[in-house]
């Protein structure tokens, strides 16, 4: 298995190695790539998961985080404006669809893997999200959000609403993970 990591000017080495054609670093960044590490390691069974990134109000594009990682901030009043999800180590037939409820705009159209739900623009805060895996009974997706002035909500799964469908309590952060239903 071939794994790789990058070094970005003024940022240093990324937190972890990636493999199998996964993207590393930020898509929209003025940070210059100064180095790359490549290594060959024994192939291991990787667990199913997700990687996700997004756009945070007044901060811009956020680094990609892996399953269960926190995307966004907590208690700073900075709204999460958009997010996108990529599946990791799941059967090829498994897909994902998700939506964002935008403050003062309502639900956006359904997005698919790699597409941004929400707007990459300040002031277009998310208030609610729905995420669902497709073509599988073996796996479920679980997610929760941190709402401004409310804190972390309980985990929900498989297309249920995290957050709300009104214009209160903007989302500051999100956590997403995949669960194997057969374990």
Q: Give yes or no for residue 45 having a pLDDT over 80.
A: no
Q: Give yes or no for residue 109 having a pLDDT over 90.
A: yes
Q: Give yes or no for residue 43 having a pLDDT over 70.
A: no
Closest C-alpha to 107, from 30, 41, 35, 167:
167
**Distance (Å) of CA 102 to CA 2, 45, 105, 168:** 40, 38, 5, 11
**Quick one: pLDDT band at residue 53, thresholds 50, 70, 90?**
very high
Q: Give yes or no for residue 95 having a pLDDT over 90.
A: yes
Closest C-alpha to 109, from 53, 101, 122:
101
The pLDDT, as a whole number, for residue 28 is 61
Closest C-alpha to 78, from 177, 175, 176, 174:
174
**Quick one: pLDDT band at residue 4, thresholds 50, 70, 90?**
confident
Output the pTM of the full model.
Answer: 0.79
Q: Give yes or no for residue 133 having a pLDDT over 80.
A: yes
**Distance (Å) of CA 146 to CA 40, 62, 125, 131, 177:** 38, 16, 13, 16, 15
Q: What is the mean pLDDT of the chain?
A: 89
Mean predicted confidence (pLDDT) in 3-27 = 76
């Amino acid at each position: 298995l071939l794994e790789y990591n990058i070094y970005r000017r003024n940022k240093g080495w990324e937190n972890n190695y990636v493999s199998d054609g996964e993207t590393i670093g930020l898509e929209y960044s003025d940070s210059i790539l100064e180095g790359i590490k490549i290594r060959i390691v024994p192939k291991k069974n990787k667990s199913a998961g997700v990687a996700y990134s997004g756009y945070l109000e007044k901060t811009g594009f956020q680094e990609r985080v892996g399953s269960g990682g926190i995307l966004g901030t907590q208690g700073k009043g900075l709204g999460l404006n958009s997010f996108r999800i990529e599946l990791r180590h799941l059967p090829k037939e498994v897909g994902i669809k998700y939506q964002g409820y935008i403050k003062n705009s309502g639900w956006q159209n359904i997005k698919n893997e790699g597409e941004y739900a929400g707007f990459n623009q300040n002031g277009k805060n998310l208030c609610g999200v729905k995420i669902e895996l497709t073509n599988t009974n073996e796996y479920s997706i679980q997610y929760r959000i941190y709402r401004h002035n409310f804190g972390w909500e309980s985990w929900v799964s498989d297309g249920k609403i995290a957050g709300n469908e009104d214009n209160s309590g903007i989302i500051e952060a999100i956590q997403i993970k995949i669960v194997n239903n057969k374990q």
